[in-house]
Chains A and B, each alone.
Chain A
């Protein structure tokens, strides 16, 4: 009984402590650019050049071997990347190159026309560890890409690493909104399960759901406080509903310049089904899949 009480009180005090977070910027020493012989190639190169200036990144260009070296040179000539472009024959080979090159961010145009796609985004996301920025529209002003970031949070996100990319990439005067959408369908499932379970008291179950949202909010408060301390212009919003729909509504209303989805924990990407859906369907602004 006493052991139980010790656990109980330790957990009460542990929960009473709002996490004091430090947002550690991620390193962007190596950035990979994937060309596709697309109109967007130039936009991606411009963005890479901008990141090179901001972070001193070394940019490695990868291109499908169906492209001639001359056309690659023509695309990249204005950007003055030091490393020689590397040709790949398949997505698998590109995955290998990105991994060997220890790239920390992949920039990739993704044409709307499926026939024009030489790289499978899903295979690249699954096969490589760095976050991938998918560019689907022309970028005239690279500095505008990370001026207003919408970071969508789903599932378990209680690690600051998840936020580091957004806060590292956001421009000096930029803003980050952390949007956590609790899936209404999942909450309903949990409630149904509690209702039929003889082990769980319904009132206690409701309290549990409330507690979880409350803890999530406390964590977000901690992140925003730490971000503001850094200082970043950050805010958060909690919502309950359909994840994809809520994010899309927020995108339409908020005038965001980039959407960030997924988790990036200890060097590995975790993309949920909702994140995949957003990654593939949001086309008017770039999407960064962590």
Chain B
């Protein structure tokens, strides 16, 4: 019914090792994968160390069992084939770009502007800050977006004498909605987008209608759920009081160097245009999106040349190494036929439920463990994009994108941004237990996934 999974390709990949992989070997690697995923979920060992360890174990075993057909010794080219350098390029480039742009004060300036635009009205404040969180998440990584907006929320709520909890929870949830907006908004998007060959612009065009609807619904739910705190102000005196409090914020106080501020705005606009119009720009046409990301990073390093060492320190190197280990694990799992087995299992699920089941399963899995390995694994398993859907990706790809992003809203540990929201709450003595979050986040996630189900059906209808 829907595009289909990549089982044929996976089968040939397994055979690459020199014929069918013996069952006990597949079982052994499956066990390694299960243990790795379980340990990832428990967070007892740092995820980078764990995945690198697992990657090395997989490599040694794969070599021992003769998975590598062209025996050239343990040299990098063998491993490099498994590593998705494009993904790593995007992560490094985007991180450097975003960290430096954030230092220019562009994002804090906009945040304070939005705070002032709310005139201190709690409901408007919820709308403005939540929408801004979604927009920031689209262009920054979710953690940075949550840190900036969350910090402002805490300060603003303290001044306005409001309970920050409803705001922070809604913002944490909105980062995952905003994270759906572009190809580079979240790691699962990067992985899936690259594997599916979806362009930046196509991704935005497909995702935007959903993000708009999901944002409106999320805000309506937040209004109903947190009515007491986020009620619009009616009293004229209270309105004037709150207006005076937010007017006292000076957005320029967050900008240290105006020249750097203005050049950063130009750079941000240029880079977004570069991502969006890459296919139309002759010099960029033949390069991958990771080259645009690296170009953006170099541009920002040029603009902020005085502290290059410090700026490069901001690259999340642990994430980069995590990817290296993860791609090795998944590469070996592919050769060992483990992904073929998982693909078969998923085929049975999708045959019964269509891509909807895949989306809900991905969401549930993402709510309790890291969505990056899941996305990376599914990117290998999912079938090639059908011809009819070449430009925008198949329904299955989108099912994984929606599931991996929105699943993070179900539990406080489901995504990095909800973890940050809970950390901010804890720092300020606002208690929120795991179950309390699940009760709140579950409602939001259920509504968002329900809309996504309908949206996927719409995509399927459009693609025929």
Q: A residues near B, CB below 8 A? A: 2-3, 5-6, 9-10, 12-20, 218, 222
Contacts and interface: CB of A to CB of B under 8 A. Distances in A.
Given A9-B108, A9-B148, A13-B111, 19 more contacts: A2-B420, A2-B423, A6-B150, A6-B151, A6-B423, A6-B424, A6-B427, A9-B147, A9-B152, A10-B151, A13-B112, A13-B156, A15-B253, A16-B249, A16-B251, A16-B254, A18-B248, A20-B248, A218-B253
A219 to B, nearest CB: 12
Given A6-B424, A13-B108, A15-B253, A20 B244 contact: yes
A10 B424 CA distance: 10
21 contacts: A2-B147, A2-B423, A6-B147, A6-B424, A9-B108, A10-B151, A12-B108, A12-B253, A12-B254, A13-B108, A13-B111, A15-B253, A16-B108, A16-B112, A16-B249, A16-B250, A16-B251, A16-B254, A17-B159, A17-B250, A18-B248
Interface string B238-273: 000000110011110110000000000000000000
A10 B253 CA distance: 13
Contacts, number: 60
Contacts of B111: 13
Contacts of B251: 16
A5 B154 CA distance: 14
A9 B159 CA distance: 16
Given A9-B147, A13-B254, A19 B248 contact: yes
B388 interface: no
A13 B113 CA distance: 12
| Closest 5 pairs (CB-CB, A-B) | A9-B151, A16-B253, A13-B155, A10-B151, A18-B248
Nearest to B251: A16
Interface string B176-198: 00000000000000000000000
B247 to A, nearest CB: 9
Contacts of A20: 159, 244-245, 248
Interface of B: 108, 111-112, 143-144, 147-148, 150-152, 154-156, 159, 244-245, 248-251, 253-254, 420, 423-424, 427
A9 B153 CA distance: 11
Contact of A17 (B144, B147, B151, B155): B155
Contacts of A6: 147, 150-151, 420, 423-424, 427
A14 B144 CA distance: 18
A13 B143 contact: no
Among B108, B151, B250, residue most surrounded by chain A Cβ atoms (within 10 Å): B151
A16 B244 CA distance: 14
Contacts of A18: 248-250
A2 B143 contact: yes
Contacts of A9: 108, 147-148, 151-152
A14 B253 CA distance: 10
Among B152, B245, B423, residue most surrounded by chain A Cβ atoms (within 10 Å): B152
A1 B50 CA distance: 21
Nearest to B420: A2
Contact of A12 (B151, B156, B244): B151
A13 B248 CA distance: 11
A215 B112 CA distance: 18
A222 B249 CA distance: 11
Contacts of A12: 108, 151, 253-254
A16 B249 CA distance: 5
A231 to B, nearest CB: 15
B91 to A, nearest CB: 16
